Amino acid sequence: MSPADTLRLLLLSSLWGLSFIFMRVAAPEFGAVSLVLVRMGVGALLLVPLLLSLYYLRLVWQHKGSLLLLGVINHVLPFSLLALATTRLEAGFTSLINATTPIFTALLGALFFTVPIQRRQYLGLALALFGVYVLSADRLDFALGGDGWFILAVLGATFCYGIAGNYSRNHLSHLPARVLAAGSSAMSALVLLVPGLLLWPSEPISGQAWANALALAALSTTAAFLIYFALLASAGATATSTVTFLVPVSALLWGYLLLGERLSLQILAGMAITLAGTAVATGLLRLRRRASPSPATAAQPMAATLDATQAAAPGATPDDTPPDNNHSRH
């Protein structure tokens, strides 16, 4: 990876990590649905110029139903659930649970989309869920208003992402990346318009909350999208996929620096286990035996090897090759 691509990767992980900070600050004042309306409304306005050609506009119109469904399951529902979760849960904590998205994508693909699943993916799922348990063992309170419900909200968001990734791969993979991104964002904004306005807070919203909401839309949504596809085209899917593991680290650091969130041994241990499970499940970290080992190699331990995986966000090249959506969004 070139120095320029390394900088892009670090910037992308930082912007996606900051999305949890922005939500943590803005969501308590806006409310979850109204905040996502701002995020998708501004994001759509900034992305729609990518569609200013008859060819792209025709594709959006021809696939408006599918883009509407994708917008609901890929933006409206998961973003609302994450925003709701951040009204109670720390930004770094939320991002760590969200990092299990690739695992749910693989599992749901096997259950409902006839996508083959390997034994290592079951192992990765079990390991990652154990990591989530380590993270949240002392917070699984399901009394009214307990943290347990907000943890389930984050897992619900990863479930939505898993469905969206498989649906997009199976039904929309022929569409250019800009049509998927801008089209689904515009549809999401339309879906959110009425509920977002109806649930708009009656109290004035502070300048700090507005600044974080607009940064969420402009930086962690629009700018991150553009950086992601530039990086994917330049560095490839394998290198770009490492952003999945950098985002929660980024969110933890930003949460510590900007919000004073605590970095406990429990959080760090849970992070290590969860990310290891995700790496195993996605094939980025693979333990494999050598075939027919010779006596000289039989005693060698299994080696951890990096393997090519799909990118960890809606994927395609910026010149609009179809994306493969086995990913984690933020």
pLDDT per residue as tens digits for the range 115-131: 777 788 788 888 888 98
Asked whether residue 178 is assigned to any structural domain, the reply reads yes
Model pLDDT for residues 246-267, shown as the tens digit of each residue: 899 999 999 999 999 988 898 9
Q: Give per-residue burial for 170-203: e unless 16+ CB within 10 Å, then b.
A: eebeebbbbbbbbbbbbbbbebbeeebeeeeeee
Domain count, the chain: 1
Taking residues 153-162, what's their average pLDDT?
Answer: 92
Asked whether residue 312 is assigned to any structural domain, the reply reads no
CA distance 210 to 127: 39
Asked whether residue 46 is assigned to any structural domain, the reply reads yes
Asked whether residue 150 is assigned to any structural domain, the reply reads yes
> What domain range includes position 131?
3-286
Asked whether residue 323 is assigned to any structural domain, the reply reads no
The three-state secondary structure class of 303 is strand
Model pLDDT for residues 23-32, shown as the tens digit of each residue: 999 999 999 9
Percent of the chain surpassing pLDDT 90: 49
What confidence tier does 138 reach under pLDDT thresholds 50, 70, 90?
confident
Model pLDDT for residues 41-69, shown as the tens digit of each residue: 999 999 999 999 999 999 999 999 999 99
Asked whether residue 62 is assigned to any structural domain, the reply reads yes
As a 3-state breakdown, the chain gives helix, strand, coil percent values, each rounded to 5, of 75, 0, 25
Asked whether residue 315 is assigned to any structural domain, the reply reads no
pTM beyond cutoff 0.85: no
Asked whether residue 42 is assigned to any structural domain, the reply reads yes
